[in-house]
Amino acid sequence: MGLVVHKFGGSSVADTDLIKTAAKRAIETKKGGDNVIVVVSAMGNETDRLYELASQIMKNPPSREVDMLVSTGEQVSIALMSMAIQSFGQDSISFLGGQIGVRTDGYHEKAKIIGIEKEKVEAALAEGKIVVVAGFQGTDKQMNITTLGRGGSDTSAVALAAVFGADVCVINKDVDGVYTADPRIVPDASLLKTISYDEMLELAGMGAGVLHSRAVELAKKHSVPLRVRSSFNEKPGTLVCVEDPNKEQPMARGATFNKKEARVTISGVPDKPGMAATILKHIAERNINVDMIIQNPGHSGLADLTFTVPKSDLHETLGVCREVSGQIGAKDVTSSENIAKLSVIGSGMRAYPGVASRMFTALAKENVNIQNISTSEIKISCIVAEEDCDRSLRAVHHAFELDKVE
Amino acid sequence: MGLVVHKFGGSSVADTDLIKTAAKRAIETKKGGDNVIVVVSAMGNETDRLYELASQIMKNPPSREVDMLVSTGEQVSIALMSMAIQSFGQDSISFLGGQIGVRTDGYHEKAKIIGIEKEKVEAALAEGKIVVVAGFQGTDKQMNITTLGRGGSDTSAVALAAVFGADVCVINKDVDGVYTADPRIVPDASLLKTISYDEMLELAGMGAGVLHSRAVELAKKHSVPLRVRSSFNEKPGTLVCVEDPNKEQPMARGATFNKKEARVTISGVPDKPGMAATILKHIAERNINVDMIIQNPGHSGLADLTFTVPKSDLHETLGVCREVSGQIGAKDVTSSENIAKLSVIGSGMRAYPGVASRMFTALAKENVNIQNISTSEIKISCIVAEEDCDRSLRAVHHAFELDKVE
């Protein structure tokens, strides 16, 4: 007898009819001979409703009380889910994070799971029950309720799958699986049958929105296969798993973009060791994530340093940069919000020469100006003007024949 | 330094503005020099909304899951209340029942409090915090969430007041206090300055709705003074406390009615020992509450047995009665739902003769037919036709000069 973890997101449990549909899927798995743990998010927009109530009380409410508040969303869902399962004659029991010892650190609103106790869940499974667990939450050492941050229910599901040695963690969502690109922008995007953890991480990191990076990282660490599929149909979806080393990989498996970053350039930086480090250290101290760092050696011993930061952090970043550039004698600080980061991702890149040139050729044909470039082992990214983003994505998707990838 | 428990009911925390108003009242008490524990109910109709969700899933949902579900209502309230208190610069912390060891028995949806641990609350009070506790809930030995049944937040507040030796438990409501009769029916009803536990119990037992019987019983047992007052004004309200034996009591302190009962008569019951006991035993086995039992010895060795039961239990009661009356050879079973039980309550009754005759005279003057009568030490009740109820109440209220009682 195996074990399957079924995770249902907010839109999959948005009303009581959908909860019943989800319950039927869990029961089907159980009848197929596997034990089942169900992890649920809050119903529909319930979490937003709760945050809104808090914001009516005060700006920046104390985070311990925020966690006390928003964790009720999942609690409502597990109770209704367990009722729904029992209404179909299948025994079930619901548990809060704290009740099954989902122990976290004490960082409210962004806690990390430290451990999960096994006794209660194993006992309930042994009694033939479907165990329903509240995602997104745990308790710290003092039994304060903590939450894992937005998207934390995926992380909860993967953590449970890892601890109890599940054969698969099924992420039931409102999409059919992982596509080679956003189908709203690229109509001939294909649904992937499989994708590797690393490829999925690059996609998630780019904000592709299907899975949270933390959940994928955890799945990779513990080799938990993830199946991303739709709650609303019977299609198999996409399996996120270890790459099969014996299978030939396509050059690329996905194309995506990120419009949420801004670009900062510090020009005329004295070209001597430690300058870039000094600048970036000051930014890191503000907890701002820096990406796509490019340094161009300029003339007369001066260099230009370019990087991207989230648009929401641009104002603060510019303040830091102006201060530091004064101290180190740099010439100027400029920025642009009118950018998009376009990326092509694929483990197969390692084996193919000419990946970059294929991308540049595709963009050149579309008369798109490439502003910056960065590459990793399995990803190549270009910065383009924001208004060029969508047609660039379609061009790149076509150039890498992603419509033919499975 | 004393201790005050402030309990705020659902209509006193129905939205975030009201929560802020309630928070200010708690802070005022704290600034007056007392420690403060706040107990809150769920916001407005939130509990009804949650029960409705459950009923969309199934009829008679499993009660463990019902408790998991409905206990979230109070959890939302405590988080928002603690935020509101902190937003005004006063330190505060919220606790679930389980977090401060409100231990109950395992009877879901109607649990009884067994004990409350003192450490966490005392530590928080010692740190100068206002402690906000979720009413209505606790956990059993296995850490399952339990609820105390409707109105249970009053009971939670009184239990906390008892355990921590509070000077007073303030029940903040949407009414000004306890009246001599329902002011919607008796316009000249007076607001009582004080009422004894026993009088309040008789009123609560009659469904007067201001306080739950269990809460009053617990307050009486531990001599916790209760102050019932409005959240929406500064009036002092009504103090529910031990009767002052040195003070002369008025004959009556309240008049009330109950339209939720039906009357059952079994006629031609063989007039021999044990007949009434047999019938009532069978009804009790169905957990049906029987009240106002009257046996009239009839002629030829046959008696009539009359009693009242809640209207919601009438159908089941009649089934039992018909079965049993066949077995014991009774003649007939009849019932009436068109009744109301009218009661006058007052500890002073003990000292006054002529209480019953005053009531009967008042009703006779109104041409109201009295169908049944029962009396206790501090209460006299008559059954009248439902349509006569309101004017009977006004007549009785006038006859006992309740408009002049304080």
- Enumerate the residues of chain A whose CB falls inside 8 A of the CB of residue B64: 93
pLDDT band for position B209 (50/70/90)?
low
Helix or strand holding residue A160 (H, E): helix A152-163
B166 and B248 share one domain: no
Ramachandran sector of residue B85 (left: φ over 0; alpha: ψ -120 to 50; beta: rest): alpha
Assigned domain for A155 exists: yes
pLDDT at A299 over 80: no
Please indicate whether, in this complex, the C-beta atoms of B65 and A58 are within 8 angstroms of each other.
Answer: no
Region B334-345 average pLDDT: 94
- Looking at chain A, which residue has its C-alpha nearest residue B101? A143
B295 and B373 share one domain: yes
B145 and B259 share one domain: no
Q: Which domain holds residue A115?
A: 3-174
Q: What is the mean pLDDT of chain A?
A: 92
* pLDDT 10s digits, B59-72: 999 999 999 999 99
CATH of the domain at B258: 3.30.2130.10
Cα separation, A16 vs A9, in Å, equals 14
Assigned domain for A235 exists: no
- Enumerate the residues of chain B whose CB falls inside 8 A of the CB of residue A44: none
B284 and B383 share one domain: yes
- Looking at chain A, which residue has its C-alpha nearest residue B141? A99
The pLDDT of residue B200 is 92
B271 and B129 share one domain: no
Helix or strand holding residue A75 (H, E): helix A72-87
The pLDDT of residue B348 is 86
Please indicate whether, in this complex, the C-beta atoms of B64 and A93 are within 8 angstroms of each other.
Answer: yes
Count CB-CB contacts under 10 A for residue B44: 18
Assigned domain for B285 exists: yes
The pLDDT of residue B289 is 87
* pLDDT 10s digits, B357-368: 899 999 999 999
The pLDDT of residue A49 is 97
The amino acid occupying position B355 is V
Assigned domain for B66 exists: yes
The pLDDT of residue A372 is 83
Q: Which of B135, B158, B174 is the last residue of a domain?
A: B174
pLDDT band for position A92 (50/70/90)?
very high
Interface check for B57 against chain A (CB to CB < 8 A): the answer is: yes
pLDDT band for position B9 (50/70/90)?
very high
Interface check for A61 against chain B (CB to CB < 8 A): the answer is: yes
The pLDDT of residue B349 is 87
The pLDDT of residue A206 is 64
ipTM: 0.87
Regarding predicted confidence, which is higher, A121 or A301?
A121
pLDDT band for position A333 (50/70/90)?
very high
Say which of B65, B94, B96 has its CB closest to residue A82: B65
Please indicate whether, in this complex, the C-beta atoms of B72 and A69 are within 8 angstroms of each other.
Answer: no
The pLDDT of residue A400 is 94
* pLDDT 10s digits, B251-266: 899 999 999 999 999 9
The pLDDT of residue B208 is 57
Q: Annotate A197-250 with DSSP letters as a single string.
A: HHHHHHHHHTT--SS-HHHHHHHHHTT--EEEEESSS----EEEE---TTSPPP
Assigned domain for B88 exists: yes
pLDDT band for position A155 (50/70/90)?
very high
B266 and B127 share one domain: no
Region B212-239 average pLDDT: 94
Helix boundaries (H) for B3-140: 16-31, 46-57, 63-70, 72-87, 119-126
* pLDDT 10s digits, A187-196: 999 999 999 9
Interface check for B24 against chain A (CB to CB < 8 A): the answer is: no
Interface check for A294 against chain B (CB to CB < 8 A): the answer is: no
pLDDT at B353 over 90: no
A vs B: CB pairs below 8 A:
102
Q: What is the number of structural domains in chain A?
A: 1
Q: Which of B18, B65, B86, B93 to mutate to test the interface with A (most CBs of A within 10 A)?
A: B65
Region B382-388 average pLDDT: 93
Interface check for A24 against chain B (CB to CB < 8 A): the answer is: no
B113 and B257 share one domain: no
Cα separation, A237 vs A229, in Å, equals 4
Distance from CA of B239 to the nearest CA of A (A): 32
B20 and B168 share one domain: yes
Share of chain B above pLDDT 90, in %: 75
Region A347-374 average pLDDT: 88
* pLDDT 10s digits, B259-295: 999 999 999 998 777 888 888 999 988 888 898 888 8
Please indicate whether, in this complex, the C-beta atoms of A58 and B143 are within 8 angstroms of each other.
Answer: no
Say which of A78, A83, A94 has its CB closest to residue B54: A83
Report the DSSP pairing between strands A3-8 and A35-40: parallel
CATH of the domain at A36: 3.40.1160.10
pLDDT at B243 over 90: no
The pLDDT of residue A212 is 86
pLDDT band for position A323 (50/70/90)?
very high
- Enumerate the residues of chain B whose CB falls inside 8 A of the CB of residue A83: 54, 57-58, 61-62, 65, 69
Region B117-133 average pLDDT: 97
B271 and B386 share one domain: yes
The pLDDT of residue A209 is 67
Q: Which of B122, B146, B174 is the last residue of a domain?
A: B174
Cα separation, B299 vs A53, in Å, equals 69
pLDDT at A208 over 60: no
Assigned domain for B237 exists: no
Interface check for B65 against chain A (CB to CB < 8 A): the answer is: yes
Please indicate whether, in this complex, the C-beta atoms of A94 and B58 are within 8 angstroms of each other.
Answer: no
pLDDT at B335 over 60: yes
Q: Which of B129, B158, B174 is the last residue of a domain?
A: B174
Assigned domain for A145 exists: yes
* pLDDT 10s digits, A212-252: 889 999 999 999 999 999 999 999 999 999 988 778 788 89
The pLDDT of residue B354 is 83
Say which of B53, B58, B68 has its CB closest to residue A87: B58
Assigned domain for B346 exists: yes
Interface check for A82 against chain B (CB to CB < 8 A): the answer is: yes
Share of chain A above pLDDT 70, in %: 98
- Enumerate the residues of chain A whose CB falls inside 8 A of the CB of residue B19: 57
Region B40-58 average pLDDT: 97
